């Protein structure tokens, strides 16, 4: 059995050479594709009754991929969007193999013919002002850990940063004098973001007398906080804030919810969509446009501007308009 038949070497080349060396994709993309393969390969090995390291390329058949995607949705209870992300990773691997191994072109075609599912557009969750205030007040700021938690929540709300961007933030990225921060987003794209005076005031003692290369936000053990740690923090504070604002219990609050909240409030403040796109680090303005569509408060104000005042005179029924009916009959 030669190397082009075994799947293992292709997986290693795909993750290490292709995604990073050739495509220069982000570390997060590499990890996402890796996680897909960590789920797919044991599934296929079990279906084929073979050791995982002896799987061949063509044993990742269209039938097995369909079965895997069914498991993702039905057993793991993942959304259609997650299912499509898993499929995108598998199709990318198939395309990479076919480019370097022409004998696998037919196999690649079968994999790439598996369609993506149309996903319903879910409403983007965001917090109203009382809910956001309750979340910020949830940490106990009389403790060191509580002050760190408050600073992190405030930073997410101020900057609209992703959890991964906040986790990677170094002290050198914050310009206290200019009240600004430099965020490293998707595709290793850097973008500046202004900071409120209260955010600067909160971050200053957190970064004082520390090396510029150190991460800004640390966990209880003094190690850099992870994006999963940030998710846990936000969920914990949201649960605590529910006692003050019960409406939070009906919402799934995550770091991305705070990002959406930032965008909605920028929009309500009169900031144009293109500026919000740059603020959040979106590549396409179509991604940002969703915030203009979901804000009920702005829609209500727009509706009020065109509201008809007073009673309107009823119009005659179309059948009583003899001239119109004559015109239509003549056509």
Catalytic (active-site) positions: 162, 186, 256, 259, 282, 291
Q: Cβ neighbours of residue 60 under 8 Å, at least 6 residues apart?
A: 7, 40, 44, 90, 94, 111
DSSP tag of 237: H
316: left (phi over 0), alpha (psi -120 to 50) or beta: beta
Rounded to an integer, what distance in angstroms lies between the CA atom of residue 315 and that of residue 205? 69
Q: Cβ neighbours of residue 292 under 8 Å, at least 6 residues apart?
A: 267, 273, 298
- From 42, 41, 39, 21, select the one nearest 30 (Cα to Cα): 21
Rounded to an integer, what distance in angstroms lies between the CA atom of residue 296 and that of residue 303? 10
Rounded to an integer, what distance in angstroms lies between the CA atom of residue 158 and that of residue 196? 7
The count of residues in the chain is 331
Burial class (CB in 10 A: 0-12, 13-18, 19+), 47: middle
DSSP tag of 141: T
Sheet of 180-184, strand order:
174-175, 180-184, 190-194
- From 234, 228, 215, select the one nearest 168 (Cα to Cα): 215
DSSP tag of 32: H
């Amino acid at each position: 059995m030669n190397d082009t038949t075994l799947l293992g070497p292709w997986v290693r080349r795909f993750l290490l050479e292709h995604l990073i060396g050739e495509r220069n994709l982000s570390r997060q993309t590499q990890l996402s594709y890796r996680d897909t393969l960590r789920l797919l390969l044991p599934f296929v090995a079990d279906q084929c009754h073979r050791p995982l390291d002896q799987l061949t390329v063509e044993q990742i058949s269209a039938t097995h991929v369909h079965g895997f995607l069914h498991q993702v949705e039905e057993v793991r209870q993942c959304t259609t969007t997650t299912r499509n992300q898993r499929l995108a990773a598998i199709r990318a691997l198939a395309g990479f193999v076919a480019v370097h191994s022409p004998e696998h072109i037919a196999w690649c075609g079968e994999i790439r013919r598996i369609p993506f599912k149309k996903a319903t557009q879910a409403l983007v969750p965001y917090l109203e002002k009382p809910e956001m205030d309750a979340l910020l007040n949830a940490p106990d700021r009389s403790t060191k850990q509580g002050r760190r938690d408050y600073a992190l929540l405030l930073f997410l709300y101020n900057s609209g940063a992703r959890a991964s961007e906040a986790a990677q933030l170094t002290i050198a990225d914050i310009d206290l004098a200019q009240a600004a921060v430099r965020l490293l987003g998707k595709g290793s794209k850097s973008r500046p973001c202004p900071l409120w005076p209260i955010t600067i005031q909160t971050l200053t003692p957190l970064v004082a007398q520390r090396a510029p290369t150190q991460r800004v936000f640390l966990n209880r053990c003094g190690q850099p906080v992870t994006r999963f740690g940030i998710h846990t923090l936000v969920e914990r504070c949201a649960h605590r804030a529910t006692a003050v604002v019960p409406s939070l219990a009906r919402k799934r609050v995550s770091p991305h919810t705070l990002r959406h909240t930032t965008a909605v409030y920028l929009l309500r403040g009169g900031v144009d969509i293109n500026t919000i796109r740059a603020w959040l680090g979106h590549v396409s303005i179509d991604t940002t446009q969703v915030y203009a569509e979901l804000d009920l408060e702005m829609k209500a104000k727009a509706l009020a501007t065109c509201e008809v005042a007073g009673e309107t005179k009823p119009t005659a029924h179309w059948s009583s308009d003899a001239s119109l009916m004559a015109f239509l009959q003549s056509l």
